[in-house]
Amino acid sequence: MVSTVLSRERSWLRFNHRVLLQATRDDVPLLEKLRFLAIFAANLDEFFAARIYGVYERGRSGGRQEQDEYRTVLAEAYESALQATEIHEQLRNALTEVGFLLLEPGELTPLERSYFGAYLAEEASPRADLLDPGALSGLSSQALYLAAGRESLDYLVRLPDSLPRLLPVPGRPGAFVRLGPLVRLRSDLFLPEDLPMYEMRLTRLADLDVQRVDWDDLAQAIEDRPEGPATRLEVERAFPWVADVREALNLPEEAAFRLSPPLDHRYLNTLIGEDPPRPNSTPLRYEPIEPREAPDFESDPFGLLDERDVAFYHPLDDYGAVEAFVDRAAADPEVDQIRVSLYRLGARNPIAEALMRAAEAGKDVAVLLEGRARFDELQNLHWSLLFRASGIRILPLPVGYKVHAKALYVRRAGRGYVHLCTGNYNPMNGRLYTDISLFSSNAELAGDALEFFESLEDGEPPQLQRMRYGIDARDAMLEKIRAEANSGGHIILKMNHLTDPAVFEALGEAADAGARVDVIARSTLTLHDERFTMRSIVGRFLEHARVAAFQSGGAWEVWAGSADWMPRNFEERIELIFPVLDTDIAAHIVELLHRQMQDDVNAFDMLPDGTHEPRWGGEVNAQLVPL
């Protein structure tokens, strides 16, 4: 039997490599390739700001094996970063062919150089920071610095984050120049003497330990958030003082990435939204997809739900239907109670705004708002103030647990209605992520949703009839897997992350007993095993649905929910997993899973040796298959 166990960190890096490979596909339009390269760069920043924490700590404090694993992770990340640099150069040449020019300062006319000199003097120089090398240990994470000196490092210039990294050249449509080289050209505006300058940036761990922080303490926790230790240094290849900077930041040699500038490929986001300077016969972006609307549901959602359950598969089905349901509930005089769990809201959110209108109209509205959603803490704190001002009650956060469950409960004329989903109540994500929405007036599901909110408010574990949460959810799913341990058994799991050892053990036992085991894991998959058929889908939309299907002797049983099957999610988070009770909807979801296993446009085979192999060039694009 061939199988490979990967650490979460190495497995996640391989997912990000699959993202990077999208920028090399012949069937992906050019500007979309830029988007994938920018996403890869943002993902790698997040990795070194958060996801590397476990292997970083083990590598720094553990034995030889832990140190070797840490170095292996760094080497694998560096290899991908080098490949991204090569792809960037290829895409830059391709941009030139369609009329976009990424110029060096030497390619500007004298008048253009004069303009940018004035721009730097007016906009950049007064806001840049000139630092002494003694400030190395306190440099900010992900800021762009230029280091200056000859024999030794004499100065550091920090460029303000508010300045765009890519600037349009006035009078030349499609022409741009990067900020870093411009600063180097006019170093006299930033340095007290004429010295060569080199680009550098570093990444630090985002250190906010708010696992036990409630709303009253969250603002102070954010204010007091310390800058964590440095985890990665990026410098251009000719950078002379790598050893000095590494020593000041206490970084191992493997954590210093020598790359060709630009060091931060997120700057490409500026180009993605630009119109091409001349017509092109080849599309530069994906063709727009018009999501399916649901006029019957939106015109009378409660009447329809009184008759049957309704499911949507976003973004092919319009996420606006979810927003319209909450808006309808907020305005309906027969609705008197709304409960919802919220995780990542974004800067503007129609659902949140409808909830505030409902509270202002006198309805009983309470939200379970997770204040510890990583990198969204401040945004959610902002919403908490708006909610309180409108009369919405914010339910207390469970001590020691993060709330990740996604559920909405509405009481209308004494009857409960529920929306359960695999995604976030976020207007942007709802239109970019593939997620399943289930609406129902089933008394048991609606009762479980109300019990979930009321029990958490009372500080008690919920007693659920149909749904499962926490460790009970894992136990229930393990029982379902074990029931398939026979020659007629068939299990299909679709997750973002699958890392739970107990789940893998049960899957292996089922496979050994003759069951067919299919796994679709977008990102982290810590066991690759020849007993399972394993896929990963990376494409235009971000795969986000979490679904488990069990053949159950002929009649498929389908469960979905907010949880990826990881130990921390079952043990340290409040998650909900719900059954799909409507047999027609369950059958449609199973058909979707079958199509995803057949995908040969966006899929990868996840091989037993821990690697992946593209299944591209075919005709089955499961991302375009509606529910």
Which are the catalytic amino acids? 404
Whole-angstrom Cα distance, residue 309 to residue 295?
A: 16
CB 169 within 8 A of CB 103: yes
Tokens 């990000």 map to which residue? Answer: 16
Please report, for the chain, how many H helices and E strands are present, in that order: 19, 29
- For residues 539 and 610, the answer to whether their CB atoms sit within 8 Å is no
Angle at 376 between CA 54 and CA 386, to 5 degrees: 150
Q: How far is the C-alpha of 567 from the C-alpha of 556, rounded, in Å?
A: 26
First to last CA, the chain: 36
Sign of torsion, CA 276 280 282 283? Answer: positive
Quote the DSSP letter at residue 27: T
Contact 230, 209 (CB under 8 A): no
Q: What are phi and psi of 233, to 5 degrees?
A: -120, 130
The residue type of 280 is: N
**Local structure of residue 263 (DSSP, 8 states):** S
Cα dist from 150 to 47, 57, 68, 426, whole Å: 33, 36, 35, 50
Q: Hey, which bits of 165-219 come out as E strands?
A: 166-168, 175-178, 197-206
CA distances from 91 to 28, 36, 308, 419, 509 (A): 12, 11, 50, 43, 47
Phi, psi of 467 (to 5 degrees): -80, 170
Closest among 553, 570, 552 to 561, alpha carbons compared = 570
549-565: b (≥16 Cβ within 10 Å) or e: bbbeeeebbbbbbbbbb
- For tokens 């109670």, what's the residue? 337
For 90-138, the DSSP string reads HHHHHHHHTT-EEE-GGGS-HHHHHHHHHHIIIIIGGG-EEE-GGGGGG
What SS3 class is residue 293?
A: coil
What ranges in 98-142 are assigned the alpha helix state H? 110-119
- Please say whether the beta carbons of 300 and 324 come within 8 A: no
